[in-house]
Amino acid sequence: MIEALLAAPARLGAVRLLAVDGPSGVGKSTMAAQVAAGLRARGCRTELVSTDAFATWDDPVSWWPRLVDGVLKPLANGVEGAYRPMDWTGGAPRPGELVRVPVPEVLVLEGVSCGRTSVRPLLSHLCWLSGGPEAGRLARAVARDGEAARAELGRWQRFERGWFAVDGTSEAADTRLS
């Protein structure tokens, strides 16, 4: 995947944009971190942004304009981006401390909906991860996030099933992994 990404043209200004998308509990964060580390090992300036920094249980995908305005548009124009990740300490999520995103050669964007239709013209590569039946994915997500999140994670998985069916993300992917 790294070779294909680096062979593809930059479409976000001078930045190559890789989206690592798929349903919850399939290992997107782990895969994205491994790819980012591989790119950095090659000397490639790489930044990693997770959609988890933007989404909340009640706002699974409509936060997208904050990512576009804060990160994607500035990087496309060759200037540093910035965003405030959701801070979950103390209960209800609220915007946290400012995170700056220097202009990289490659921006790895990972998380549910990061390969959505509206961003595809800007992508150099779209990677789709699938992870088997929902029950297994739910078990992995609960192991990661804790038993208290089970009901919300179940609701999230029902939402994303519909999201991906309508958005066609898997079918649009350059790379599909399970």
Query: What pTM does this model have?
Result: 0.92
Buried b / exposed e across 32-42, counting CB within 10 Å, b at 16+? bbebbeebeee
Region 69-96: mean pLDDT is 91
Give the fold, CATH level 3, of 2-177. Rossmann fold (3.40.50)
pLDDT score for 57 = 83
Q: How confident is the model at residue 143 (pLDDT cuts 50, 70, 90)?
A: confident
Confidence of residue 92 (pLDDT cuts 50, 70, 90): confident
Going by C-beta distance under 8 Å and a sequence separation of 6 or more, which residues neighbour residue 25? 131, 136, 137, 138, 139, 140, 141, 144, 153, 157
* Kind of pairing between the strands at 106-110 and 16-21: parallel
Question: CA 101 to CA 36: how far, in whole Å?
Answer: 14
Give me the pLDDT at residue 153, please: 84
For residue range 52-69, what is the model confidence (pLDDT) as tens digits? 999 888 888 999 999 999
How is the chain split into domains, by residue range?
Answer: 2-177
